């Protein structure tokens, strides 16, 4: 048992099956399946999480009903799937980790563009986000679905799975049946709460009848779906005891949000307080005596998890994103190596990835699903080289620690007083604090790897060449480009600062500046809107101009919803299809917003500040002169081409291995 986290690492039994501790892996779609079968990459993903020390894993949703045919989801509804399922069970269960298959259907819910033409639902009512109107399921459809799900559960049991999790939360199909907001049926499955619960109750009973009492049945239920007229904590407190009785259900897990403007509750980012649903979980746990409760939702730290178990607020902790970022989170916590955990930074890039139909990936874990991912430390290189890394941002630091750990002599030259580059600046903005986990981990690893940091120096050619490097890695980042809509000559006046240069000056200010701040947005990522929040703290009016038809387009939907809510709450104005016009006059406090299609101009008055966040250009000025001197030069991160944090860390990681 761990001394630091004795409750978190205490054993527990579910359905008579032993769990070695209380840390579980929440279901997350990996998008790694292919043609309805598990891939080697997917099995490695699950094996790694089991090896990392968690006690139970819930798989991503399976194709467990004959109507479910998504190619990236593993099939469980036919017997020819048995050997695939058995392999999956083996790789996880052999690590003393219980494996549960998830039974779920999104119903009318859809997070992507367009509508789902194959959706089923309780009623023919539109989904709040996609406006998909589902086919209303008949009683015969429901019966067949339940029969298939129960049959698939039995197949999972035969394959060696320890149980199933029925996902009746997050706004999915079973949740939709429970909610009066989307269920207006007049038959036995609609109307009274008892009728709305009937489908889930019958499903639980059917699985139990097929699989018996020694098979774990977990139930994800709505805790608060955040939709007016749907299921809040009060109705959740009626639903939970109605469905969760000892013997029927082996654990309950309360979930947050729905397929609606509350979708961001599902995966809270750092604009939320930590463990934001703990109070509701405690209350709901009180309604289901004798049934273990699993807490989920923005729990990232072992001390938080320990406190939740120790106070009795929950019996189990489910970690989604934190185990994606570091599968060895449990082992490191248990053995007092918390500082070596690569912590989830709650950026939700992982969610953005699967929405783009790409395999799950992480800003702060460049090795997701690689065979040696768990507790990774690189092997020593065959030849030792002297490497100068120019730039101490997250690309440069990632390359540096990997190269150092491989035995190279590594010197990092950084312009800032501390490592982290632009990501450090972002971490100082509202909702950015968790990003520090990227460069904090890199700093710990770099120290362990013997990397030498020389900070506070904007390196010139002589500085780079002074240590006589065998190779130079340029990770010097990028700068915001001057808006082409404005005369180039204005650039030298210094009256229109770029947003990144401006923020360090504005962040410490507490005194209101008054007037209007205009922000020209050709960035559409989170830092720009976090900066807009800072502007609103200081200026009376903030107006965002963008040439696109909406803002925040390059953020995952879950992130965008939060951005739109915060900007709306703060009264920040958005002018789409606009750019600042050359007719603007900062001296007179006037910016004209020019419609990019019609050329018509709208006056914005009392302007104290015009700033811009635009596509970046690489700061690669050192590359050519170094190459002229015969030096081997590699460019990584924004300095190669301006992209995302994920590109920066993964490219730095790869470069550190390549040298």
Structure tokens at 215: 């098979």
CB closest to ligand FMN, residue no: 320
Given the complex with ligand FMN, which of 61 and 656 has the nearer CB atom? Answer: 61
Considering only residues 206-245, where is the footprint of ligand FMN by CB under 6 A?
220
Q: How near is the Cβ of 25 to ligand FMN at its closest, in Å?
A: 9
Q: Which of 99, 199, 350, 610 contacts ligand FMN by CB under 6 A? A: 350
Residues 56-75 interacting with ligand FMN (rule: CB under 6 A):
60-61
Near ligand FMN by CB under 6 A: residue from 8, 26, 85, 394: 26
Pull the structure tokens for residue 303: 């001390």
| Assigned token pair, 564 | 């739109």
Distance CA 179, CA 105 (A): 15
Residue among 538, 523, 539, 650 nearest 604 (CA) = 539
Interaction between residue 296 and ligand FMN (CB under 6 A): yes
| Residues 101-130 contacting ligand FMN, CB under 6 A | 104
Coil vs helix vs strand at 174: helix
Q: Closest separation between CB of residue 558 and ligand FMN, Å? A: 8
Three-state SS across 540-557?
A: CEEEEECCCCCCCCCCCH
- Per DSSP, the residues of 458-509 read ---HHHHHTT--SEEEE---EEEPPPTTS-GGGGGGT-S-BHHHHHHHHTT-
320 versus 642: smaller Cβ distance to ligand FMN: 320
Rounded Cα–Cα distance for residues 92 and 44 (Å): 10
Residues 559-618 that bind ligand FMN (CB under 6 A): none
| C-beta of 362 vs 402, nearer to ligand FMN | 362
Tell the smallest beta-carbon distance from residue 159 to ligand FMN (Å): 20
Stretch that binds ligand FMN, among 197-205, 293-301, 470-478, 523-531 (CB under 6 A): 293-301
DSSP sequence for 231-300: --HHHHHHHHHHH--TTT-SEEEEEE--SSTTHHHHS--TTSPSSTTHHHHHHHHTTSTTS-EEEESS--
Residue pair 206/258 in contact (Cβ under 8 Å)? The answer is no
Instruction: Tell me how far, at minimum, the Cβ of 354 lies from ligand FMN, in Å.
Output: 5
Total of chain residues touching ligand FMN, rule CB under 6 A: 23
Q: Judged by CB under 6 A, does residue 298 bind ligand FMN?
A: yes
CB atoms within 10 A of CB 619: 19
Residues numbered 381 to 410 that lie near ligand FMN (CB under 6 A) are: none
d(CA 37, CA 194): 37
Give the Cβ contact number of residue 641 at 10 Å. Answer: 15
Among 14, 15, 23, 28, binds ligand FMN (CB under 6 A): 28
Characterize the bridge pairing of strands 601-604 and 591-595: antiparallel
The answer to whether 437 contacts ligand FMN (rule: CB under 6 A) is no
- Residue 173 DSSP code: H
Number of neighbours of residue 247 by Cβ within 10 angstroms: 11
CB of 350 to ligand FMN, least distance (A): 4
- To ligand FMN, the closest distance from the beta carbon of 108 in angstroms equals 16
Task: Name the segment binding ligand FMN (CB under 6 A); options: 210-218, 244-252, 296-304, 458-466.
Answer: 296-304
Residue 50 or 413 with smaller CB distance to ligand FMN? 50
| 27 touches ligand FMN by CB under 6 A | yes
Q: Closer to ligand FMN at the Cβ: 109 or 656?
A: 109
Listed ranges 25-33, 373-381, 479-487, 510-518: which one lies at the site for ligand FMN (CB under 6 A): 25-33
Among 223, 297, 469, 477, binds ligand FMN (CB under 6 A): 297
d(CA 231, CA 225): 6
Q: Which is nearer to ligand FMN, 276 or 460 (CB)?
A: 276
DSSP string for residues in 573-611: EEETTEEE-TT-BTTTTBEEEEETTT--EEEE-SEEEEE
Q: How far is the CB of 306 from ligand FMN (least distance, A)?
A: 15
In the three-class reduction of DSSP (H, G, I as helix; E, B as strand; rest coil), residue 6 is classed as coil
**In this chain, which of 29, 325, 434, 650 binds ligand FMN, going by CB under 6 A?**
29
* Dihedral of alpha carbons 559, 560, 566, 572, sign: positive
Among residues 314 and 475, whose Cβ is nearest to ligand FMN? Answer: 314
| Window 166-185: residues binding ligand FMN (CB under 6 A) | 167, 170
CB 100 within 8 A of CB 218: yes
| Comparison of 33 and 61: residue with beta carbon closer to ligand FMN | 61
Instruction: Please enumerate in sequence order all residues whose Cβ is within 8 A of that of 328, keeping only pairs 6 or more positions apart, or say none.
Output: 51, 52, 53, 341, 374, 375
The pattern of x and - marking residues 310 through 349 that bind ligand FMN according to CB under 6 A reads ---------xxxx---------------------------
d(CA 97, CA 59): 12
**Whole-number Å distance between alpha carbons of 13 and 22:** 10
Cβ 104 to ligand FMN shortest distance, Å: 6
Interstrand relation of 632-635 and 471-474 (parallel, antiparallel or unpaired): parallel
Least distance (Å) between residue 582 CB and ligand FMN:
44
Which is closer to ligand FMN, CB of 161 or CB of 612? Answer: 161
Residue 354 lies near ligand FMN (rule: CB under 6 A) = yes
Q: Which of residues 258-287 bind ligand FMN (CB under 6 A)?
A: 267
Site of interaction with ligand FMN (CB under 6 A) = 26-29, 60-61, 104, 167, 170, 220, 255, 267, 296-299, 319-322, 350-351, 354
């Amino acid at each position: 048992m761990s001394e630091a986290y004795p409750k978190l690492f205490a054993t527990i039994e579910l359905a008579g099956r032993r769990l070695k501790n209380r840390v579980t892996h929440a279901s997350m779609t990996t998008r790694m399946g292919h043609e309805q079968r598990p891939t080697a990459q997917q099995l490695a993903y699950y094996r790694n999480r089991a090896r990392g020390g968690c006690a139970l894993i819930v798989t991503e949703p399976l194709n467990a009903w004959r109507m479910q045919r998504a190619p990236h989801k593993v099939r469980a509804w036919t017997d020819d799937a048995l050997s695939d399922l058995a392999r999956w069970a083996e790789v996880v269960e052999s690590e003393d980790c219980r494996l549960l298959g998830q039974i779920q259907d999104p119903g009318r819910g859809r997070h992507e563009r367009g509508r789902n033409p194959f959706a089923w639902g309780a009623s023919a009512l539109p989904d709040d986000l996609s406006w998909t109107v589902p086919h209303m399921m008949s009683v015969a459809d429901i019966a067949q679905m339940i029969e298939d799900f129960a049959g698939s559960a039995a197949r999972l049991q035969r394959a060696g799975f320890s149980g199933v999790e029925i996902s009746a939360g997050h706004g999915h199909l079973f949740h939709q049946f429970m909610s009066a907001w989307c269920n207006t049926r007049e038959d036995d499955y609609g109307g009274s709460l008892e009728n709305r619960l009937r489908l889930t109750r019958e499903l639980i009973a059917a699985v139990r009848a097929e699989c018996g009492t020694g098979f774990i049945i977990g139930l994800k239920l709505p805790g608060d779906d955040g939709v007016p007229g749907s299921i809040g904590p009060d109705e959740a407190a009626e639903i939970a005891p109605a469905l969760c009785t000892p013997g029927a259900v082996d654990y309950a897990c309360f979930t947050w949000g729905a397929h609606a403007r509350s979708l961001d509750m599902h995966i809270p980012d750092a604009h939320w307080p930590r463990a934001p649903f703990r109070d509701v979980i405690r209350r709901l746990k009180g309604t289901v005596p004798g049934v273990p409760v699993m807490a989920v939702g923005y729990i990232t730290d072992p001390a938080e998890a320990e406190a939740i178990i120790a106070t009795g607020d929950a019996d189990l902790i489910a970690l989604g994103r934190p185990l994606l970022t570091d599968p060895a989170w449990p082992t490191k916590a248990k053995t007092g190596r918390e500082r070596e955990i690569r912590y989830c930074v709650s950026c939700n890039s992982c969610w953005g990835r699967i929405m783009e139909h790409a395999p799950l990936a992480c800003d702060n874990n460049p090795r997701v699903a690689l065979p040696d991912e768990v507790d990774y430390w690189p092997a020593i290189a065959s030849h030792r080289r002297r490497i100068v890394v120019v730039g101490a941002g997250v690309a440069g630091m990632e390359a540096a620690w990997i190269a150092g750990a491989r035995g190279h002599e590594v010197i990092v030259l950084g312009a800032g007083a501390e490592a982290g580059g632009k990501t450090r600046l972002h971490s100082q903005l509202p909702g950015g604090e968790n990003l520090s986990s990227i460069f904090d981990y890199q700093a710990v690893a770099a120290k362990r790897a013997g990397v030498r940091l020389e900070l506070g120096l904007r390196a010139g050619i002589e500085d780079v060449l002074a240590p006589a490097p065998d190779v130079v890695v340029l990770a010097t980042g990028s700068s915001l480009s001057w808006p082409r809509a404005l005369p180039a000559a204005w650039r030298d006046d210094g009256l229109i600062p770029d947003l990144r240069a401006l923020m360090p000056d504005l962040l410490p200010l507490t005194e209101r500046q008054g007037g209007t701040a205009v922000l020209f947005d050709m960035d559409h990522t989170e830092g720009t809107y976090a900066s807009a929040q800072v502007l609103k703290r200081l200026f009376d009016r903030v107006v965002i101009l963008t040439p696109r038809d909406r803002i925040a387009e390059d953020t995952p939907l879950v992130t965008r919803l939060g951005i739109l809510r915060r900007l709306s709450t703060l009264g920040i104005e958005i002018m789409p299809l606009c750019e600042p016009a050359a007719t603007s006059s900062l001296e007179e406090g006037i910016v004209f917003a020019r419609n990019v299609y019609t050329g018509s101009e709208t006056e914005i008055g009392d302007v104290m500040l015009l700033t811009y966040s635009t596509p970046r250009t690489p700061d690669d000025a050192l590359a050519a002169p170094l190459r002229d001197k015969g030096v081997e030069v590699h460019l990584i991160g924004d300095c190669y081409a301006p992209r995302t944090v994920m590109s920066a860390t993964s490219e730095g990681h790869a470069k550190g291995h390549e040298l």
